[in-house]
Amino acid sequence: MIIVLKPNLSSKEQSAVVKEIKRLGYRPHVMRGVARTVIGAIGDETAHQSLDVLRAWPQVESVTPIQKRFKLVSREAHPQNSTVKARNVVIGARPLVVMAGPCSVESEKQLMETAHAVKAAGAQILRGGAFKPRTSPYEFQGLGEKGLKLLAKARKETGLPIITELLSQDHAEMVAEYADILQIGARNAQNFQLLIAAAKTGKPVLLKRGLSMKIEEWLLAGEYVLSNDNPNLLFCERGIRTFETYTRNTLDLSAVPIIKQESHCPVVIDPSQGAGRADLVVAMCKGAVAMGADALLIEVHPNPKEAWSDGAQQLTLDGFSKLMTELKPFIAAAGRE
């Protein structure tokens, strides 16, 4: 920790701070500069109590941590890329993985038609929401367990592993029974109780970035998964909230190289939520692949015009198939399969 003192302190005021730093288990290192006195506090910041409380002292101008607060998700802890396995599909290895399917599971017909079509087009994992978090209590909230059963049926028919959202701690075991990957949505990205419940099922967890989550906070939320003995974590960028209103959110593609640099976990891009508009999804997928994403999560619907949720951002079956064709040269350019 670096503690910057206010100017014009008496030596007594200064030494009180130094004493407190020692009391908290750090070795203080005083540097008297031109305009300020600065104290370096040497010690393991993750083992001792945070010196952040010093900000409450009238003598102190600022307190800056030196160590990164995340450990298990960090590249330093695990220099090699880690991979996550959902049945026979490996995410984070050389092949780019595409997860596709409807925003919400609506009916057997809708789901089976989509599942077969996305498989034919090259998707390796089927997505579909059975429990839906909705801004308004008056909107469609998902089919619940009935939706999960349909997903399991679609997996049986197509062989595609399935990913679906976990909304409630109380459903963790039930959802884990059906799903191959548990998705934690953006609104729940700092619902730590849910993260812990998801981690404890042992299933891979895909953690979407919250709408106003800094990279560091996202990594720390991931830390809740790994520190609960579940190493199977995927980070999924799906757009952050900014002032721009043209798109629903601003897809922060820089998150791909940043997460790759700071962490060993695979990175997934969700362009459907990011854009909120099907017509931008293709360009965003190309960008995501080029920037090094390990997987894509794409909303596809046999008839988006009649979808029960988020119709505007879902691709048609044809649109998805065309996307997969257009992506090929970019996948090759990125050195992937």
CB closer to a second copy, 120 vs 283? 283
CB closer to a second copy, 57 vs 152? 57
**Contact string 286-315 vs a second copy (x = CB under 8 A):** xxxxxxx-----------xxxxx--xxxx-
Does the protein bind a second copy through residue 29 (CB under 8 A)? Answer: yes
Residues in contact with a second copy, total (CB under 8 A)? 110
Site for a second copy in 104-163 (CB under 8 A): 133-139
Number of H helices, E strands in the chain: 10, 14
Q: Which of 12, 156, 170, 229 binds a second copy (CB under 8 A)?
A: 170
**Contact string 203-242 vs a second copy (x = CB under 8 A):** -------xxx-xxxx--xx-xx--xx-----------xxx
Q: Closest by alpha carbon to 230, among 265, 261, 262, 279?
A: 265
CB closer to a second copy, 157 vs 216? 216
Sign of CA dihedral 91, 272, 258, 283: positive
Give min distance, CB of 90 to a second copy, in A. 23
CB closer to a second copy, 83 vs 227? 227
Q: Where are the alpha helices (DSSP H) in 159-265?
A: 172-178, 192-200, 215-226, 255-262
CB closer to a second copy, 86 vs 308? 308
CB closer to a second copy, 15 vs 242? 242
CB closer to a second copy, 35 vs 80? 35
Q: Where are the alpha helices (DSSP H) in the chain?
A: 11-23, 108-121, 145-158, 172-178, 192-200, 215-226, 255-262, 271-275, 278-290, 317-333
CA distance 20 to 183: 44
Does the protein bind a second copy through residue 80 (CB under 8 A)? Answer: no
Partners of residue 235 on adjacent β-strands: 207, 267
Q: Which helix (H) or strand (E) holds 125?
A: strand 125-127
Does the protein bind a second copy through residue 267 (CB under 8 A)? Answer: no
Q: Which of 107, 145, 250, 336 binds a second copy (CB under 8 A)?
A: 250
Does the protein bind a second copy through residue 33 (CB under 8 A)? Answer: yes
CA distance 130 to 243: 31
Site for a second copy in 177-196 (CB under 8 A): 187-188, 190-194
Per the CB < 8 A criterion, the answer to whether 72 and 224 are in contact is no
SS (H, E, C) 244-256: CCCCCCECCCCHH
Instruction: State the chain's maximal CA–CA distance in angstroms.
Output: 78
Stretch of 90-98, 111-119, 153-161, 246-254 contacting a second copy, by CB under 8 A: 246-254
Stretch of 36-44, 98-106, 118-126, 145-153 contacting a second copy, by CB under 8 A: 36-44
Give min distance, CB of 156 to a second copy, in A. 29
CA distance 189 to 186: 5
